[in-house]
Amino acid sequence: MSDRGFTPNEMMTIAASRALKGDDVCFVGIGAPSAACNVARLTHAPDITLIYESGTIGTAPDVLPLSIGDGELCETAVTTVSVPEMFRYWLQGGRITIGFLGAAQLDRFGNINTTVIGDYDNPKTRLPGGGGAPEIASSAQKIYVTMAQSKRGMVDKIDFYTSFGHGEGGDHRKRIGIDTEGPALLITDLAIWEPDPETKEFTVVSLHPGVSREQVQETCGWTVKFADGVDETPAPTALELKTLRDLKARTEAAHKGAAGSGAKKGSKDG
């Protein structure tokens, strides 16, 4: 917790939530994107449609899901469709306005790696993989990415292209036949970034309260570009902070409860 009364992670989540609107149809990634999307739903965007990869449409979870298969998503959804229908009709049909993704590795053009760190055949670390993210990255109308800054995560060259962003920059997406906008926003724990209109390289447009340009550069693996007029991100409001903290508290209590009941059941059955 900073002396400002909120953590960098809370600032990141709340800044990301503000980017969403009530009329958005948002394909939600698990983790930080899920927290941001649900804070938006619980504050300024109550009519937002949240869609998860398992086929749940219009879900309104009381707690954050552990995975796309979490029962909380299906129980609170308006409807649940099959995964093929979700991808073919909803996503590839152009009905998703925002794809909200996280990243293990990200480069300056918004290309994402969630597959391996190191050489593919002999990796240092094998990551969870792409899941539906490659299709989301190419078929959602635009992509938002949220992640904490580090030189390990924000790299000059990603080890594997899991989800295609702007490729080598410029009109690379268009040249290979992808007609959606691609990465349009990057929200980190230090700043808000937008792609340059021409080069498509992510550029800092807003620094979070108390964050310096030097801090942003120290935690980024490429030479950072800053917009001509860099803003300061508005600090979280009391309502935004309470909403996020209450959501996380409910989530922690629910998951602890589930773990506890599972352990008791196991000992009884054993």
The rounded percent of the chain whose pLDDT value lies above 70 is 94
pTM of the model: 0.91
In contact, 81 and 55? CB cutoff 8 Å: yes
Query: Which tens digits make up the pLDDT trace of 49-104?
Result: 999 999 999 999 999 988 888 888 999 999 999 999 999 999 999 999 999 999 99
2 occurs within a structural domain: no
Vertex 248: Cα angle to 20 and 49 (nearest 5): 30
**Would 147 be classed as within a structural domain?**
yes
Distance between CA atoms of 269 and 146, rounded to whole angstroms? 42
Active site residue 53: yes
Residue of 10, 53, 72, 201 marked active site: 53
Q: What is the CATH number of the domain that holds 41?
A: 3.40.1080.10
Structure token digits, residue 79: 């409807």
Flag whether 260 is in a domain.
yes
Alpha-carbon distance 56 to 132, whole Å?
A: 14
pLDDT of residue 218: 98
Number of domains in the chain: 1
Q: Is the dihedral of CA 158, 159, 165, 169 positive or negative?
A: positive
Domain span at residue 180 reads 8-269
What pLDDT does residue 141 have? 97
- How confident is the model at residue 70, as a pLDDT? 87
In a domain, 41, yes or no: yes
Q: How confident is the model at residue 2 (pLDDT cuts 50, 70, 90)?
A: low
Task: List pLDDT tens digits, range 142-173.
Answer: 999 999 999 999 999 999 999 999 999 999 99
On whether residue 73 sits in a domain, the answer given is yes
